[in-house]
């Protein structure tokens, strides 16, 4: 059986190391699922908020002007993706960034992207209608 490098249609140099270390499809699917969750603007906003504070559903709903049931739906998606976690405090659940390397890395990426998109001095924190 030919190696993958031998079956490449064009020879653009030695890429054997790249091909040997390329993530498999399952890993790419799992990774894209994380990005898919953050591709929703509401979930991205909630994720950002929870990267910077621990909040309950009612506070999150008030912060983003959305109904608590809708917020709960988005929280469930983020939680299932392993990006946030919740802990019970009395009668409420408080959500925050998951304590994982993956969640921390995505937090850094999101913060840097938001800063690069928002021009210096622009009111990027204000609500737009």
| pLDDT for residue 1 is more than 60 | no
Return d(Cα 60, Cα 66) in angstroms, integer: 8
Strand partners, 88: 93
Return d(Cα 108, Cα 80) in angstroms, integer: 20
Calculate the average pLDDT of the chain.
87
* CATH number of this structure's domain 13-110: 1.10.10.10
Phi and psi, residue 126, nearest 5°: -80, 150
Pairing of strands 92-97, 55-56: antiparallel
% of the chain exceeding 90 in pLDDT: 62
Q: How confident is the model at residue 8 (pLDDT cuts 50, 70, 90)?
A: low
The 10s digit of each residue's pLDDT in 18-74 is 888 888 999 999 889 889 989 999 999 999 999 999 999 999 999 999 999 999 999
Is residue 48 within 8 A of residue 108, CB to CB? The reply is no
pLDDT the model gives residue 78: 97
Q: Report the half-sphere exposure of 80 (CA within 13 A, side-chain side).
A: 10
Strand partners, 3: none
Phi and psi, residue 59, nearest 5°: -70, -40
């Amino acid at each position: 059986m030919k190696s993958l490098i031998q079956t490449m249609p064009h020879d653009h140099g030695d890429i054997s190391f790249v091909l040997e270390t390329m993530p498999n499809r399952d890993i790419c699917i799992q990774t894209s699922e994380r990005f898919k969750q953050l591709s929703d603007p509401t979930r991205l906003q909630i994720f950002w908020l929870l990267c910077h504070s621990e909040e309950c559903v009612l506070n999150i709903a008030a912060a983003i002007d959305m109904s608590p049931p809708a917020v709960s739906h988005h929280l469930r998606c983020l939680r299932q993706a392993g990006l946030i976690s919740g802990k019970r405090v009395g009668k409420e659940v408080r959500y925050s960034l998951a304590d994982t390397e993956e969640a921390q890395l995505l937090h850094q990426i999101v913060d840097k992207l938001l800063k690069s998109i928002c021009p210096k001095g622009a009111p990027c924190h204000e609500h737009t209608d």
